[in-house]
Amino acid sequence: MAAKKTPKRMTKKEFLEKVTHGNLSTDHAAAKMVEELQRYEKKYGMRSEVFYALIAGTPAEDHPDFVQWAICYRSYFRAFQTKFPLKDLASYAV
């Protein structure tokens, strides 16, 4: 009988090499978050901006999807800010 193959764990060195290699673009990370935000928007019939203004930070947020939706929404903006830092955008200010 063949032994069940256990997937090989990464070593910390392998992990660091993969993470620091920079394969994942900010665009790709943000696109995945947008997909998730859109799933929530479709499920609850509400734009993320509206959800965040009305529900996040209130007791109504105490729902499995809403906690995750709020975190995802903030994460999206941080990823966006990484791509377009405010100090760079300041030069466009009138």
Partner 1 sequence: MRFEGRHQAQIIDRCWSVYLWLVQAFILPESFHVEFPAAAESALVSDALHVTVPMTEQLALSLREEYALGRQGLEVSRYSYNVIDRNGNNVLRADNLPYHKTDYRGRTLIHPPHHLHDKQGRVRSFTGQLQDFISYAKSFLTSP
User: Contact positions toward partner 1, by CB under 8 A?
Assistant: 6-10, 12, 15-16, 18-20, 22-24, 26, 29-30, 32-33, 59, 61-62, 64, 67-68, 70-72, 74-76, 78-79, 82-83
Is the dihedral angle over the CA atoms 60, 53, 42, 73 positive or is it negative? negative
Q: Which is nearer to partner 1, 59 or 93 (CB)?
A: 59
Q: Which is nearer to partner 1, 1 or 93 (CB)?
A: 1
Q: Which is nearer to partner 1, 48 or 79 (CB)?
A: 79
Nearest CA to 78 out of 34, 30, 37 is that of 30
Give the three-state DSSP class for 42.
helix
CB of 93 to partner 1, least distance (A): 24
Q: What angle do CA 68, 25, 75 make, to 5 degrees?
A: 20
